[in-house]
Amino acid sequence: KPVVVLDDPLWAPLRAQVDLMVARGFVRREAADALQWAASVAEAFDLLEAGLASPTRIVPVIEEAPEGDR
């Protein structure tokens, strides 16, 4: 399902936290990009409708453990 956040000063810390988690490798950029930011309520509804019409699927990446960890 699409996730849209109204780009308001109230949510600025959330946006900064998401960017920090991507920068530190806790969240993949593709996953963070699935969170959309809207400048107005009308734009938020447009983004929600577009997301429902063409959903984005994020597939988890399974990384192999190093040889010593098996």
Type and span of the H or E element at 42: helix 41-53
Asked if pLDDT for residue 69 goes beyond 80, the answer is no
Rounded to an integer, the average pLDDT of 46-64 is 73
Share of the chain above pLDDT 90, in %: 49
What is the C-alpha separation between 52 and 16, in angstroms, rounded? 26
Select from 27, 39, 29, 35 the least CA-distant residue to 2.
Answer: 35
Structure tokens at 9: 């000063």
pTM as predicted = 0.63
The answer to whether the CB of 43 falls within 8 A of the CB of 49 is: no
Model confidence over 13-40: pLDDT tens digits? 999 999 999 999 999 998 998 889 999 9
